[in-house]
Structure 1
Amino acid sequence: MPLWHVYHPPGAYTPGQKQQLSTDITQFYTSFGLPPFYVMVLFHGVAADSFHVGGEPNGAAVRIVVEHIARHTEDPRLRKRTREALATLLAPHTAERGLYCEFHIDETPRDLWMIDGLTPPPPGSDAEQQWARDNRPTPY
């Protein structure tokens, strides 16, 4: 599962802009075969007096924490491509709107993850493909 925490100034995103960003994020991951329901995006509005960059309040900053669980990248070239692809995905939602943006990706061990009491199926397996088609977890 990729879990995205998007920390942003209040009012930085309309409901429609939040929907578009979460759709873009979901499409990124489903293009690699992940079930859509694996992708979660949480928006956290943070007032400028509670969002400091370099020791100063900042009302135009976005900080994103991405947690990857379903897939991990060990190859440095793939990690770089992933980082660059996510920067490209984010640009229309951040930099191109005049928002300062920083993000990082954490990789949580897959064996510490469950969905509705089920251990997710192995990557690329028939069961995972079935989950993607059904867009929900089912026993396998």
Structure 2
Amino acid sequence: MTEGSPIKFELVDINAILQTLPHRFPMLLIDRVINIRADYSGIGIKNVTFNEPAFQGHFPERPVYPGVMMIEAMAQTAGVIGIKSVEGTEKPRAVYFLTIDKCKFRKPVLPGDTIEYHMRSLGRRKTMWWFHGDAKVNGQVVAEADVGAMLTD
């Protein structure tokens, strides 16, 4: 993210996310997106609670938020950034997750943590977008990946 890049959307709350993405419970994995900038960057926020459905099986005795859920949340954050930045539309769109590269999980995420998905655009071609994401808890990177997605009507 470029601090000097102007902010286009300071806050996209859960109601606006529901109008922007087709995802719903239990697969809507972000609570809000903040600081969407003109350089196609922004930060998705997820408040992880013990009530997450994934904790029923991952792992009941020592709950750890699944890494694959963080990667999906990165893609959802990127989808909100792309849709809001380019079109400013609130029309639900299909967002197809196509690629994951350079994925690394660094630290476990536990109930009570707040994950910040720091996403920045790596480029785009027509309806294809590529983003780099750093998932952070308390300022420390817990996961990172490059993700690619396609936005369609």
- TM > 0.5: no
Q: Report which of the two has the higher share of strand.
A: 2
- Bigger share in helix: 1
Say which one has the larger Rg.
1
Higher RCO (CA-CA < 8 Å; seq separation 6+): 1
Please give the TM-score of this superposition, normalised by the length of structure 2: 0.29
Give the TM-score of the pair, scaled to structure 1: 0.31
